[in-house]
Amino acid sequence: MSDDWGDDDGIEAEPFDVDDEEREPGHIFGIDVAELVDGMARPAIVRSLQKAVRDLAAEVVDAEVTEQLDPSVIEELQLQAATAARSSVLAALDELDKEPTGEEPELYFGSVDEFVRGYLLPNYRRRVDGQRVVWAAEWWRYAEAVARLDALWRAWEHLRQDAQTGMSVWFRDHAEHHMSILLSPEGPFASAGEGTDRQNTNEKGQPLPYIAPPEGLFPDVREP
């Protein structure tokens, strides 16, 4: 093996030579410099002109508004603003005055017995035969029945405050639920049967059977 490296043994790279004499004037690598600059300059010029016009227009508008706002106009604007503000404040105060204060509204019925007599019996009539549909005239003897009727009364007192859908909600979500259980032969009155002299039955269209509870059993809670 020879240690003599000759000039012909390697690869010699030739330099990249840009011949300025052959380049077209105004072009670099085939790019028209003037055209490129012109294309970039036009959008910038348009933006500058738009900004100048906007600034000038704003100055003209401000000057015109200032000219029109003489003392009499300013006084009228202040008066209108004060009137509008006063109306808004009064409306807000009126709304606050109508909001509930957190106090419980006064009860319409003073006891569950008054509610049963005064509202439930006249408005929830069902045919009671003592067998398929049951009820006890002495309903106050049945603890579960008293609890359910008391719940119906309290729900009614609350929902009557809603003049729009309150009673619909009461019948749908409360009355139908509890009354279907109370009238069921498997419900709290299951042992009531027809009662003495059929006191626990009624005829079609009549109110549910009712016998008044002993005096003082359901005192009027509205009384101090």
Q: Please, which pLDDT band fits residue 83 given cuts at 50, 70 and 90? A: confident
For residue 52, is it within any domain? yes
Report yes or no on 90 lying in a domain. Answer: yes
Residue 121 in any domain: the answer is: yes
Pull the structure tokens for residue 16. Answer: 């990249």
- In this structure, the answer to whether residues 192 and 119 fall within a common structural domain is yes
Return the pLDDT at 47: 83
Measured CA to CA, the distance from residue 220 to residue 224 in angstroms comes to 9
| 208 and 175 Cβ atoms separated by less than 8 Å | no
List the domain range (segments joined by +) for residue 47. 31-98
- Cβ-based neighbour number of residue 177 at 10 Å: 14
| Number of domains into which the chain is organized | 2
Tell me: do 77 and 129 sit in the same domain.
no
Burial class (CB in 10 A: 0-12, 13-18, 19+), 224: exposed
What pTM, to 2 d.p., does this model score?
0.56
pLDDT in tens, 16-57: 455 555 666 766 766 777 777 777 777 888 888 888 888 887
Structural domain contains residue 156: yes
Average pLDDT, the chain: 85
Of 128, 132, 134, 129, nearest in space to 190 by CA: 134
* 71/203: higher pLDDT: 203
Tokens of 132: 């398929």
Tell me the DSSP string of 67-101: HH--HHHHHHHHHHHHHHHHHHHHHHHHHHHHS--
Q: What percent of the chain has pLDDT above 90?
A: 52
pLDDT tens-digit profile of 62-76?
777 777 777 777 777
Read off the pLDDT of residues 208-219 as tens digits, 9 standing for 90 and up: 999 999 999 999
